[in-house]
Structure formats: C-alpha cells, structure tokens
Structure 1
Amino acid sequence: MILDDFVQFDANGLYCKYGGFYIDPVQPVEKAVISHAHADHAVAGNREVWCTVGTQAFMLFRYTKNAAKIFNVAVYRQQFNICGVAITFIPAGHMLGSAQVLMEYQGTTYLYTGDFKLQADATCEPLEWVKADVLITESTFANPATQHPDPVLEISKLNDIKINILLGAYGLGKSQRLIRLINDHAPQKAVLVHHRIMPLNLVYEKAGYALGKYQLYNRKLMKNQQEYVYIVPPFTFDSYIRATGVKRLFASGWKNLQVNSQDTLYISDHADWNDILEMIKQVQPTQIWTLHGDGKHLREHFNDTLFVKLLN
C-alpha cells in the first residue's frame, strides 16, 4: 500500500517520518540521506549522513570538520536500513557520486531521483534504471518546450571561435564535464581552470575519472595565444563582465544564463522533458510525485492515466 505521507516537506526539507530521516535537507538535521554533493542538496552541519563515497569526498573537501559528525558510506546497489526503511543508492548520472534513493517500506518502493540526467557523461557513473511503485522525481525542466541539445554538438561550437574564451560554469560537476568534452571534441583548445576548480578536479582523478589536459590559469598565457578556454566559477565570470578580447559564454541549461545572442552553450546536467518521460517509462510507477520544479505539465500530460502529485 502506498503511504501518501511517506515523505513530506517541512522547514528542514523533505522528511520521511517512517524512517526518521531527511533527504537532501536544506537545514542541518539529525539524520540526512544525501543524493549528491551540490550545495543545494548537501548542507553542512548534519549529525549523521548516509551518502556515496564520491559525495562524502566532496562534502569533506567543502565543509571539512563541519561536513557531518558521522558518515555512513554505502556503495551503489548495496542495501542499508534506517529505522525500518530499506534504502539503496542507484547511480543518477548527474555528477560524480550522485545517487537515486530507492526506499522500501512495508512492501512498497519509493524512488527519489535526486538530480539526474540521461545524457552520456564520461566524468560520472551513468544512470541506472530501477522499478518502483512511486517515482519522486525532480521536475526542474519538466516542460514539453524544453529539449536539451546534444552536448557534443554544443561543445563543438568552440571550434569556430577563434579568440580566447571565458567559459562560466559551476565548479563542481559541470566544470569537470566541460574539461573532458573540450579535450574530446575541441582538442586544439587549451583548457585553463580557475584555482577554485583545480582541487575538485583532483577528487575526480583520484576516483579514476580522467579529465584530459588542463592547467591552472596564468594571465600571461592568454595574452600570447588565441586558443585558450578559461573555465571559471559564476562569481568570477560575473566579475569579468567588461572583459575585452575574449568571447564570454556560460554553460548551462538555463536560457537566462546565456550571455550572447550570437553564441550559446546549452549544456545541462538535468533531465529535460523527454528524459523525464523516459524515466517514468522505465520505472513504471503507479504514482508520480514531483519536486524541485513545476510538475503541472506532467499532471496535464498524464491526465487521468497516471496519478501525479505535486510535493512543492
């Protein structure tokens, strides 16, 4: 039997009262199951955390001693138990260490996707399918009008830009994916990275994910050649708004973050409309619960054929 209140939002985030834990809480809590290490899903200060080894590595790097008092690290597809709720981490394909959270309680399965993507990504574990009675899915881009382009075609646009490029990207996950894509599909470009991105790259490489060639940014380098791509985090990108002699691009699935009318770089690490429909097809849920976005389009799409509940 599906429990309508199996997970609910409160001031601290998404709470499973049957297991006494939060999933990706927005405030520090006693027990937290963390799907991945992006800051909007993994906050500091939780007392006890369950996560993958990749997520732990990034949390420890970012938060040091404040990451959590107790870490419980589980490998993918290895079941563990929190107060009677059986939990299994399933690869989500979003970034290194990202996991879907499969929960089983009283014979019913609930799958929290976390952030996920279906597109190929050589810098993280690929998404895996699992069936569940209830699919609790992110709906960041759950709109029929949203279809993400092929990232290889997008990154190949850099080949036609003959001046140095200032490329804005989130430091964790997106930057590492871009480094690998540039090495694979725009190999004549030399990749420079901001000093805050460099230690994150080392975590990837320690985990066995080769990113290809890159080096720490040096101002003198970009003055002498025209084939550099300098990858910087958002705060640095914004501070260079008046930069001259470079093409400014921001790699994102959000249209409002594209800064040039002539050149765009739509590379998203989230599922688009068709990907979410494929997730539903593969999971074969009886019910869909949406969060982290607007689920109204899914409700309209399935109408009376599949129950859709909007959690937020």
Structure 2
Amino acid sequence: MILDDFISITPTGLYCAYGDFYLDPQQPVTEAVISHAHGDHAIGGSQNVYCTAATESFMKHRYRKFAAVDFHIKPYHETFKIKDVAITFYSAGHILGSAQVLMEYQGVKYLYTGDYKIEPDATCEPFEFIQADVLITESTFANPGTKHPSAIDEIKKLNETNANIMLGAYALGKSQRIIQLLNTHCPTKNIMVHHSIMPFVKIYEDYGLKIGGYKMYDRKVMKSNLENQVYIVPPMVFHSYHKAINVVRVFASGWKNLQQQNGISLYISDHADWDAILETIQKVQPKQLWTLHGDGKHLKEYFEGKLEVKILNSKMND
C-alpha cells in the first residue's frame, strides 16, 4: 500500500519519517540523502551524508571542513538501508554524480528524481529509467509550452559571430558541459574560464571526464584578441559586468528571462522539459505521480482520470 505520508514537506526539507532521514535538506540534519551537489540541494553541516563519490568531492570543495561530519559514499545500484528503508542510487543525468533515489519500504517503491535530464550529455552519467510505484519528479519545466532545443544546435549559434563572447553559466555542471560542447562544435573558439569555476573543472577531470581544451582567464589575451575568445563566468560575475564592452553577452539557461538583453540566446538546460517528463513517466510506469520544484498543475490536468497526481509544493529552482 502506498503511504501518502512517506515523504512530507517540512521547513527543513523533504522528510521521510519511516527512515528518519531528509532528501536534499535545506538545513543541517542528522541523516541527509543528497541527490546532487548544487547549492539548493546540498548544504554543509549535516551529521551523516549519503551520496555518490563525485557529490562528496564537490561538497568538500564548496564547504571545506563544514561539508559533513561523516560521508557515506554509495555507488549507483548498491542498496543500503537507513532504518527500515532500503535505498538505491541511479544516475539522474543532471550533472556529474547526480542521483535518483529509489526508496523501498513495505514492498512499495518510491523514486525521487532530484533534478534530471534524459538527453545525452558527455559530461555526466546518462539518465536511467527505473520502474517504481510512486514517481516523485521535479517539475521545473513541466509546461506543455516548454520544449528545450538541441544543445548542439544551440552551441553552434556561437559560430555565427567572430566577436568575443562573455558566457554566463553555473559553475558546477553547466560550465563543464559548455566547455565540452564548445570544444566539439565550435573549434575556432578559444575557451577561457573564470578562476572560481576551475576547481570544479579539475574535479570533473579527476573523475575521468574529457571536456577538451581551456585556459584560465587572461585579461591581456581578451584585450589583445578581439575575436573568437569565449570567457565563461559564473552568474554573479556575468550580472555584475552587465555593461562589459567589446563582448557579446550570452547566458546558458533554459529560462527565457535569462536570455533577455543578451546578444545571442543560448537555451541549454540541464532539466527535463515537458516531453522528457512525459517520457519518464511512461517508462517508470508509476501508480502515483508526486511533483516537486515547480508547478505540477499542468501534469495534474494532463493525467486527470488516468493517473493520480499529487503536488507536494510549488518551490521554484534554477
């Protein structure tokens, strides 16, 4: 029997009372199961953190000695228990080390996707389709009007200009994907990376990811070469240099509002769009669908009379 209260929303985050643990808590807790290392899912300071090896590496870089008291590293497909709940990680395709969390209790399977995408990405493990009784899916872009274009087609748009480009991208995950795409599809571009992104790039390489060539940002290079330089910066830098001259401004995101006032739109998202969410639901074959991180009303309307849909919250994320 599916338990309606298996996962509950609390001020601290998603809580599983039957295992007495939190999924991606927003405050330090005793038992934290972490899907991936983005800051809105992985904070520092918890007692016991269960995650993949790559997630541990990213968290230790970001939070140093405050990352966790103890890490419990779990590879994909290895089942472990927290109290009476059996947990198994499966790749989520969001960033390196991202995991879906399959929880089994009293013969019922609950699958928490965390953030995910199902399209190919050479910089992280591919999404795995796992069948479950309850699918707890992110719904960041769960809107029938949202369809992400091909990331390859989007990155190729940068070949249309010879001007230097300031490219905003999240430091973890998006930047490494952009570097790999540029190397593969924009061979004339010289890639330079902001210093705050470099440690994450090195961690990717430590895990055997080949993202191609790049250099640390050099102001002299950028100033003396007015063509074919791409400078990848984190969002804070991108927005603080909103009046930067002699560059075309580009921001890699699935959000339309982040494309405004930029020289070239670059719709590259690391989240599932409407069609990808529907495909995931079809392959997981859940008896119930629970939605998180976004607006689940479109899914509720779409599946009315066919599948029970429960909207757990309406929190937006990046």
> 1:113 aligns to what?
113
- Aligned pairs for 1:101-140 (under 5 A) are 101-140=101-140
Shift of 1:222: 1.2
Q: Check whether the contact 2:55–2:98 (CA below 8 A) recurs between aligned residues.
A: yes
Shift of 1:262: 5.5
Normalising by the residue count of structure 1, what TM-score does the alignment of the two structures yield? Answer: 0.99
Secondary structure in 2 matching 1:309: strand
Give CA deviations for 1:22-56 in whole Å, capped at 9, x if unaligned.
00001111100000000000011111100000100
Secondary structure in 2 matching 1:292: strand
- Aligned pairs for 1:199-210 (under 5 A) are 199-210=199-210
Give CA deviations for 1:109-138 in whole Å, capped at 9, x if unaligned.
000000000111111000011100000000
Shift of 1:75: 0.3
> 1:168 aligns to what?
168
Structure 2 residue 42 is the aligned partner of structure 1 residue 22: no
> 2:316 aligns to what?
none
What are structure 1's unaligned runs of at least 5 residues? none
Give CA deviations for 1:240-291 in whole Å, capped at 9, x if unaligned.
1111110001100000001336520000000000000000001000000001
The amino acid across from 1:173 in the alignment is G
Q: Write the distance in 2 (CA, Å) between the matches of 1:188 and 1:261.
A: 22
- Identity across aligned pairs (percent)? 61
> 1:310 aligns to what?
311
> 1:272 aligns to what?
273
Shift of 1:63: 0.5
Give CA deviations for 1:156-203 in whole Å, capped at 9, x if unaligned.
001011100000010000000000000000011010000001111000
Shift of 1:4: 0.5
> 2:142 aligns to what?
142
Secondary structure in 2 matching 1:245: coil
The amino acid across from 2:176 in the alignment is Q
Q: Write the distance in 1 (CA, Å) between the matches of 2:278 and 2:88.
A: 23
Secondary structure in 1 matching 2:205: helix
Secondary structure in 1 matching 2:294: coil
Normalising by the residue count of structure 2, what TM-score does the alignment of the two structures yield? Answer: 0.97
> 1:68 aligns to what?
68
Q: CA RMSD in A?
A: 0.7
Secondary structure in 1 matching 2:177: helix
Structure 2 residue 93 is the aligned partner of structure 1 residue 89: no
